[in-house]
Amino acid sequence: MPAPSSAQPASLTACAYSAWTEGASYKAGDKVAYSGRGYEALVAHTAYQGAGWNPASTPTLWRDLGACDGSTPPTTPPPTTPPPDTKDETCAVKSKPAGKVLQGYWENWDGASNGVHPPFGWTPIGDPAIKQHGYNVINAAFPVIRSDGTVLWEDGMDSTVKVATPAEMCAAKAAGATILMSIGGATAGIDLSSSTVADRFVETVVPILKKYNFDGIDIDIETGLTGSGNIGRLSASQANLIRIIDGVLGQMPANFGLTMAPETAYVTGGSVTYGSIWGAYLPIVKKYADNGRLWWLNMQYYNGSMYGCSGDSYSAGTVEGFVKQTECLNNGLTIQGTTIRVPYDKQVPGLPAQSGAGGGYMSPSLVGQAWNHFNGQLKGLMTWSINWDGSKGWTFGDNARSLQGR
């Protein structure tokens, strides 16, 4: 009788391969181990999370090499050539700018291709023209927010969207920009009635803020925030917005920035009545203005009336309305015995960059009259948007830079 063979049956393989991993990318010929069997990739592909493309269930992607024999795979020798460093570029969070600011919204979509403001549509966040025309603070608008609070910030997350890479963000910052992520906008709302949604928002936005080297967040939530009717008692939506802000600030460096860009009804509109949307931002503004975390307030002086401290109302686009509303916040707006004060050096009023960008457009001469009324005491100006301004010759940015003496 011949001696027994030490060879393994043909159906067994040593499986000296790394384990298959969901989310990994594979090229044709790669070999993996999965559920006690060996497999070879037939085509290049990515095993997307949740797609269920494991080797056992996708014979069009993987060839079954047979059952593993249970032996310990040999140690893989180190590669002779080090793999390329794929780590994202990082750069430090920049602190609040010391001088005057011109803060503009940078659109991550193409507003020219959809006919909104041709011919100037999407542009790189490091476009030298942005700095050349006076903008030194950029609000990157807007992430996609899913119904469960999950935040997305990636190419293609919405039509024509392209976001800046971490390296491009660092380059723009090195050239002088301070860059914030703007949360919200007219169409990117968040369910503020749910603390679970708020927590999911924080959980998913913080890694994005860190990965992409943002210097702060701009709260531009325009839907879902209402007051309780009693300024001394927070509504659920107000409490959850504070939960979001505190959650983000608590996980970022101490110099990480916070700005807010509410519409007028949410702030000085509280002088008319307090409840529903009217004055709904006031407890939030007060909290962060008083504790020093608010860099400045970017109230939108457009798309609605402007209000003084006595419930007096002014049309958007007027110097008088600009002045009265700004003075009200500096002097202090008192609602139900609670005073909310935002001094001039924490005010960066928001205006439309060009006719068509928003209701209440002010010509460069009117902007100059409003700005000069305060003798340089305002921290700066904000505008919607950088891309709108670029579409019509940069007249807003050039004028603001000149008014600020930069």
Q: State the pLDDT at residue 86.
A: 52
Range in 78-92, 172-186, 228-242, 342-356 with the lowest mean pLDDT: 78-92
Q: What is the pLDDT of residues 170-211, one digit of tens each?
A: 999 999 999 999 999 877 789 999 999 999 999 999 999 999
- The CATH 2.10.10.20 domain(s) of the chain lie at 12-68
- Is 40 among the residues known to form the active site? no
What does pLDDT average to over the chain? 91
Range in 69-78, 337-346, 369-378 with the lowest mean pLDDT: 69-78
Q: State the pLDDT at residue 158.
A: 84
Do 139 and 180 form a contact (C-beta atoms < 8 A)? yes
Is 288's pLDDT higher than 50? yes
Do 219 and 63 form a contact (C-beta atoms < 8 A)? no
Smallest Cα–Cα separation from 260: which of 297, 308, 209?
297
**Tokens at residue 128, please?**
């030298």
What CATH number does the domain located at 101-403 have? 3.20.20.80
Question: For residue 102, which phi and psi values (nearest 5 degrees)?
Answer: -120, 110
Q: State the pLDDT at residue 9.
A: 37
Angstrom distance (rounded) from CA 8 to CA 60: 28
Q: What is the pLDDT of residues 346-397, one digit of tens each?
A: 999 999 999 999 999 999 999 999 999 999 999 999 999 999 999 999 999 9
Q: State the pLDDT at residue 47.
A: 75
Q: State the pLDDT at residue 2.
A: 39
Catalytic residue among 222, 263, 320, 327: 222
**Tokens at residue 240, please?**
């959850």
Residues 297-325 have a mean pLDDT of 96
**Within the chain, what is the greatest distance between any pair of CA atoms?**
110
Do 143 and 152 form a contact (C-beta atoms < 8 A)? yes
**Tokens at residue 80, please?**
């002779």
In 165-215, DSSP assigns E strands to 178-185
Do 46 and 25 form a contact (C-beta atoms < 8 A)? yes
Coil, strand or helix: which one is 325? Answer: helix
Angstrom distance (rounded) from CA 301 to CA 316: 6
Whole-structure pTM over 0.85, yes or no?
no
Q: What is the pLDDT of residues 27-61, one digit of tens each?
A: 888 898 998 899 888 866 667 666 677 888 887 67
> What residues pair up with 313 in beta bridges, in sequence order?
307
Judge if the upstream peptide bond of residue 322 is cis by omega within 30 degrees of 0: no
Angstrom distance (rounded) from CA 113 to CA 124: 16
- The CATH 3.20.20.80 domain(s) of the chain lie at 101-403
Per-residue pLDDT band at 11 (split at 50, 70, 90): very low
Is 5's pLDDT higher than 60? no
The letter for the amino acid at 261 is A
Angstrom distance (rounded) from CA 128 to CA 125: 9
The enclosing H or E element of 351 equals: strand 350-352
Class for the domain spanning 12-68:
mainly beta
Is 219's pLDDT higher than 70? yes
Angstrom distance (rounded) from CA 367 to CA 346: 18
| Helices (H), ranges, 221-357 | 236-249, 282-290, 319-331
Is 92's pLDDT higher than 80? yes
